[in-house]
Structure 1
Amino acid sequence: MSNESDPFNGPQLQRQHYQRANMAMSNFDGVNMAESHFFAVLSDATFNDTNLARAKFDDVNLGAATFHNINLQDATFDNINFSNVKISNANLTDMSINGILVSDLLAAYEKLENSA
């Protein structure tokens, strides 16, 4: 479909309400969805070059999701299941878990491992 004949290329759709809409395999490129609310199935969705700053995620399933080159600076996680999570090549500066700096936890672990 050419862009000239596509009614969804550049439309003004602010304040629309979609209920029970099937948007499977849709492509949202350059779309402004600021202050939008999603109560939806987004499994197998791909977010590239996406700004989700100040987004709120509540009761969300991200099981088996993959995150790469993600900025989580100043993010807050509460009541999170991190079972079997793998973190690599991460900047952990000032990151804390239950009020304890992760750098201190890793230093204590390394000291314990070296003394064994």
Structure 2
Amino acid sequence: MAVTLIDTSDRIEARNAALTASRLSNVDMRDLAVDDANLSGATFRNVNMTGVRITDANLSDMEIEGVKVTDLFAAWKQLKG
């Protein structure tokens, strides 16, 4: 699969990239935009998720601190009534 990397000063744009098993460490990704990506099996450790927005996502089997996100949503909906 061809990978296109476009270096625009402090930005890199990757299109049609297969980054399976890649590792990012000590990377500043503020204001990062991710669209049409497969993050299945990804692990995030020691990350600042302040202000992160997730929309139109498949959250099945996703866990935060060992708790399934779908269970968190179910409990929230039950509390909300």
TM-score bin (small chain): 0.7 to 0.9
Larger Rg: 1
Q: What residue ranges of structure 1 are gaps of 5+ in the alignment?
A: 1-29, 32-41
Match of 2:19 in 1: 52
Q: What are the Cα deviations for residues 81-116 of structure 1, in whole angstroms up to 9, with x where unaligned?
A: 0000000000001000000000000000111111xx
> RMSD of the alignment, in Å?
1.6
Q: What residue ranges of structure 2 are gaps of 5+ in the alignment?
A: 4-8
Which letter maps to 1:102?
V
Provide the C-alpha distance between the structure 2 equivalents of 1:98 and 1:107, rounded to a whole number of angstroms: 17
Residue number among 87, 97, 109 corresponding to 2:64 in the alignment: 97
Which letter maps to 2:10?
S
Provide the secondary structure at the position in 2 that maps to 1:58.
coil
More relative contact order in 1 or in 2 (CA 8 Å, sep 6+)? 2
Task: Give the length in aligned residue pairs.
Answer: 76
Structure with greater strand share of residues: 2
Q: What are the Cα deviations for residues 18-49 of structure 1, in whole angstroms up to 9, with x where unaligned?
A: xxxxxxxxxxxx36xxxxxxxxxx73221110
Residue number among 31, 36, 47 corresponding to 1:64 in the alignment: 31
Provide the C-alpha distance between the structure 2 equivalents of 1:43 and 1:90, rounded to a whole number of angstroms: 28
Moved over 4 A (4+): none
Provide the C-alpha distance between the structure 1 equivalents of 2:10 and 2:62, rounded to a whole number of angstroms: 29
- Indicate the percent of aligned positions where both proteins have the same amino acid: 33
